[in-house]
Structure 1
Amino acid sequence: MAQVDLRVGDVPGNVSRVIDCAIRARDELNADLIIFPELTLTGYPPEDLLLRPALHDMVAEGLERLCTEVRGIHLLVGHPEQTRQGHYNSASLICDGRIVACCRKHHLPNYSVFDERRYFVPGDGFCVMEVAGVHIGVTICEDIWAPEPARAAVDAGAQLLVNLNASPFHTGKSNERESVVAERVGETGCPVVYVNLVGGQDELVFDGESFVLDRHSATVVRAPACEEGLYPVDFEKGAEGIEVLPGKISTRIEDVAGIYQVLVLGVRDYIEKNGFRGAIIGLSGGIDSALTLAIAVDAIGADRVQAVMMPSRYTADISLEDARAQAEGLGVVYQ
């Protein structure tokens, strides 16, 4: 599972990340397959960039690079697919110089922060891909929240289900994801590999926490929150189906410390991806600006943060003292 932090619109850079990860997975982990998040090549959410023909040209060039530069391992990558019928949210299996198979997302979310029906048309048909003798049913993000795609894949011969995601964080979301996927396992009897994006993009933060459920709906692998990495999953064929060998299970984000971790990630990526040199934080001596300063320092380092006291006629001396003490304690330039 490649839990990676991608940049929206930076198709060449994202493709280079995919190539680096694939080579590492092949050479260091001896992997047969590496799975990336939803819309790997464009980053998520690409929004109105999808209306630009130049983006689709870059995606086509990126897929060609993957076919040319990576051999000896299967790659499952997400990307927009441009056709005469419209744009699809797709995933392609690439191996040894060619695209072996391609599947399209069926259920397009159009609520809350999602606006996919503006850009995509729903796919039809279900795709089962074979890797190392295992038949894999591929679904994309929202597809796993409905019963039909998983059932159809299993009816078509899938022994293992894979789900590519760009699922943003909110409190309790990790538990929601695993509960929904457990329902799909219960309905199909197939293990599920759930690969999620990590990183911040504007107002969204993707927490990662990719995971694997075995055919008994038990969590046997869970990647850490807010961290990039390659997380190996080992399988073996058993008499009753594909068995997932237990791996490392990281703790889910469920407490205040976890939420703080997400805030730090979101601020860091917002600053880095927008090319800002640093941050200036206005302090009042109150807890809200104090927390903001702490997050900024943890996100990008004290040397890139400047604190400015912004008192009013109502500011008490203790507020001035507290603000100065915090700035000095964090090693931040204070004015």
Structure 2
Amino acid sequence: MSTTMDAVLYHAAHQLEIVKREVPQIAEDEVLLKVTCCGVCGSDHHLAELVPGHEIVGTVAAVGKSVISGVVVGDRCVVDPVVLCENCFFCRRGQHVLCENFNGLGVTLAGGFAEYVAVQSKKVYKIDNLTDEEATLVEPAACAIHGLDKLNAPVGVEVLVLGAGPTGLILAQLLKLNGASRVVIAANKSIKTRVAQELDCGDEYIELDRVKPEPQWEQLKSSNPYGFDVVIEATGSEKMANDAIHLVRRGGTLMIYGVYANSDLVHWAPSKIFGDEIRIIGSFAQTHCFPRAVEYLNSGKIRVKGMVTDTFAIKDYQKALDKMNSKEAVKVAVKP
């Protein structure tokens, strides 16, 4: 095995190059993973001085001396990228997702857009029935499971999911599997809505015209005069976050799930939240949700076949970003 590897390196947000780096040395409780595929996420754009990539799939290439988790060289695995301190105010209260020292592979630590990555052995999970491309969806599925844990919706709710990105499609499937009586997916007409229908993610689909979506919004509102018990904003659009509250049924819940710029703001009337008793919640990342995500995808109950529409080599990472930003892909992945 060569001692150097190709990797993507961000020097600042949106400023990247392909570099040669040393293959990581593993600690006694770590495994060395030869990366076979890594999903590209919208949040990857905003990193600096880092090898990004947190949706990691690979094969175990070496195992540390004290590893007792049962993984061996050759195992195909996905990686839970979250690294917690277990010692801060929130960790000690069991609120791990709020860890004050929250770290993550590909976010604050070297990630998977490289040929190899070092991973804590307790953070790797074996996969069986998934292709490498499909397995990149385990991490987004884990985040969606955390979202449903936070939502804690009663059986029989009617749900509107805004956005048909990979996580929105997984959220929709989870809601159907866990008691929603009706799931409507609303998104701009594109390959994403086509894949959503092919995978039977929702019960109904609203395809919005990118230039003039007002007629579709009016039709949605007239067909659902009481709104929805749950509205999930999964587009990351400031405008959609502002408008979404007007689609929530009285007594209902708005979940903010998208990734937004820090400068984005919402302007909601407190009187509406008060008078309609609307619950507003956020859902950020995940902790300890990987076992359920692996089972859901391995079993086929969550369908992800075809969600990864495009793959690129590390040397073509900029092309991968361009494809993702073109709105002509559902999920893009890098294969070292």
TM-score, normalization: structure 2?
0.28
TM-score normalised over the length of structure 1: 0.28
Structure with bigger gyration radius: 1
Higher relative contact order (CA 8 A, sep 6+): 2
